[in-house]
Structure 1
Amino acid sequence: MTLHADSVPLREQILQRLAVLQPELVELDDDSAAHAGHAGAAGGGGHFSLMLVSPAFTGCSRIERHRRVYAALGELIPSHIHALSLRAYAPDEL
């Protein structure tokens, strides 16, 4: 059975897309409730905090790490993710 993307919760879509980075640790928090009434939250949310540890970030600058995450998330930004607070680390940085 194939699920349509709209039937998969946003949190699960995000985690599925981040799998391409082969993360060792993912902490994903939906902060949308704290932004109720904010213009960007008018569609029902989309504010997240993400901490990601991946060997894919070894030797990468902070900017390159963020680019890799944004590339993995694709069109979810900005269609479903309005704001993303991101912390990205290589395994040896913890």
Structure 2
Amino acid sequence: MIKEVIEKKLSEALSPEYLEVINESYMHNVPKGSESHFKVTVVSVNFDNQRLIARHRTINQILAEELSHHIHALSMHTYTPQEWQAQNEKAPDSPKCLGGSK
């Protein structure tokens, strides 16, 4: 399953203090059981002194294979431990899908 691959790759590469991978495909107009839309929340000291674009590029590189073949959409929420604490240890909710019939 793609979700487990994402979790494994991000865990190995970033040693996150917190990692959540959510398959949000059900929120979109895709066949039941699809694994094409994901939301990841990653809290890692590796993000210290990195701008948001650098953090996202890091995740894009780690998941390059999955992004080119399996994942249609990837929402990323990347935090340092201090930012995560200031965020009350919660990532924003995903918006409703604007496309398709759902």
Q: What TM-score does the superposition give when structure 2 sets the normalisation length? A: 0.74
1:80 pairs with 62, 70, 76, which one? 70
- Which structure's residues are more often helix, by fraction? 1
Q: Aligned residue for 2:24?
A: 31
In structure 1, the residue corresponding to 2:26 is in which secondary structure? helix
User: In 2, distance between residues paired with 1:17 and 1:45?
Assistant: 16
Gaps of 5+ in 2: 85-102
| CA shift digits 1:7-64 (9 cap, x unpaired) | xx11111011102111110111111011124xxx7xx331011111011100000000
Gaps of 5+ in 1: 1-8
Report the residue type matching 1:88 in the other structure.
T
- Count of matched residue positions in the alignment of Structure 1 and Structure 2: 83
Q: Aligned residue for 2:3?
A: 11
Q: What TM-score does the superposition give when structure 1 sets the normalisation length? A: 0.80
1:74 to partner: Cα distance:
2.0
User: In 2, distance between residues paired with 1:78 and 1:35?
Assistant: 19
Contact conserved, 2:3 with 2:35, CA < 8 A, in 1?
no
Alignment RMSD:
1.9
